[in-house]
Amino acid sequence: MILTKKSVWVSTMAAFMMFTAACSGGSKQTETTSTTPGGEVPAVSGEKVELRMMWWGSQVRHDATLKVIDLFQKKYPNISIKPEYMSDGYWDKLNTVLAGGNAADLIQVGNNYPDYVKRGAFLDISSYYGKELKLDSFDQSIIDSGKMDSKLYAVSLGSNALGVIYNKTLLNGAGIEAPKDSWTWDEFAAYGKQVKDKLGIFGFVDGSDSTHMVNYYARQRGGAVYKDDGKIHFTKEQVVEYFTMWDQFRKGGIMPNGEQTAGYKESPDNSRFVEGKAAMKVIWSNQLTAYQKAMKDEIGIALLPSGGTAKGLWLQPSQFMSINAKSKHPKEAAMFIDFMVTDPDATLILGSERGVPGSSKVRTALKEKSNETDKRMYDYIDLAVKNSREMDRELPNIAEWQSELTIQSQKLAFGQTTVEKAAQAVVDSASKSAAKMK
């Protein structure tokens, strides 16, 4: 029997709240206004409006988001927002409530938002751009990342890049130098062995079930998991190489075995890395804050190992906020999205936990008030930009492929399949997911 391991990609995750049905009161109150950062005062109806908002993330993200909701409600007392937070099973729940016509008004999504646009689940919010959505300080490329067919469906909540976090306190104590800005996969393995020999802990945790790591590995070899032509661009041979590499890490004892890996979710709330039992772990850069807050030891972040003939890294919008196509209050929902990404007080609360903000004004303000952890993240993003190339489209129906990748990774870890069979299953699953969009 295979033990279940929680997905690293959704990465970052703790307990969930009950989903509740939307309702709106018919009572009236005195019209309320609030001045936006640009000085304009949006017209706000006196009607009481209730919105529902759905998101996933770590406890740090959850707490910060609740504070922003509270701040928004104080500025707009006629608008209330009911939180629907989850730590695990987010995509299954989202698909279920969308199918049942009972999804929240505001929905946090990833780079898979085009899947939902094609299903008619999200509202075209282009008409709110320049009005309720005052995104003039956003980089145009960040705005465009939320568009399909020249229509705006999603607003980026931040961008980030993959990186390797490491326990600086433990490594310094053992006289081990920090990882280099440029290292190969072989050097990555050798570094892990050095950690094991000197500290008696694992070099790093298992990251083989990450869809983004598969994409990173394929991109280093000139491919990608998926591109705009609607086809997958990685091969069985590449996945064989990928799985073989992680299997060798496992067998060499520089990474936990299957049973040891299954005992942790590898989120900031439940991690072998956080407990000091492993020295390194692959994360998205926006998770640096949550991991540092979960630990007493100081942590750093370095580039992933290089290999192949091309740059594997890319700068990716971490999450987007979209509006349910069936929302009865899209204008108020657009107002909250704008508040979330442009209001000085709100953006200061959220910081960069969801990634580096798209607004240049917000970035400047945050840098001036950032703590040491945030400064490390900003510095890493600058480094990542220099070592990145243009991102590719995310595989449609990626939740299905993620599930298959996790299953095959676990089977390999428990010795229940071969690398060849696992690689074939992963490629077949990706092909099937891509074909569903044709």
For the chain, what is the mean pLDDT? 88
Gyration radius of the chain's alpha carbons:
22
DSSP 316-352: EEEEEEEEBTT-S-HHHHHHHHHHHHH-HHHHHHHTT
Q: Can you tell me the distance from the alpha carbon of 25 to that of 105, in angstroms, rounded to the nearest whole number?
A: 16
pLDDT digits (tens, 9 = 90+) for 28-55: 333 333 334 444 445 555 789 999 999 9
Q: Can you tell me the distance from the alpha carbon of 143 to that of 141, in angstroms, rounded to the nearest whole number?
A: 5
Q: What is the pLDDT of residue 390?
A: 82
Residue 135 has pLDDT above 90, yes or no: yes
Mean pLDDT, residues 359-377: 87
Q: Can you tell me the distance from the alpha carbon of 286 to that of 242, in angstroms, rounded to the nearest whole number?
A: 25
The helix/strand/coil state of 90 is helix
pLDDT digits (tens, 9 = 90+) for 220-277: 999 999 987 889 999 999 999 999 999 999 999 999 999 999 999 999 999 999 999 9
Q: What is the pLDDT of residue 130?
A: 94
Residue 15 has pLDDT above 70, yes or no: no
pLDDT digits (tens, 9 = 90+) for 81-104: 999 998 789 999 999 999 999 999
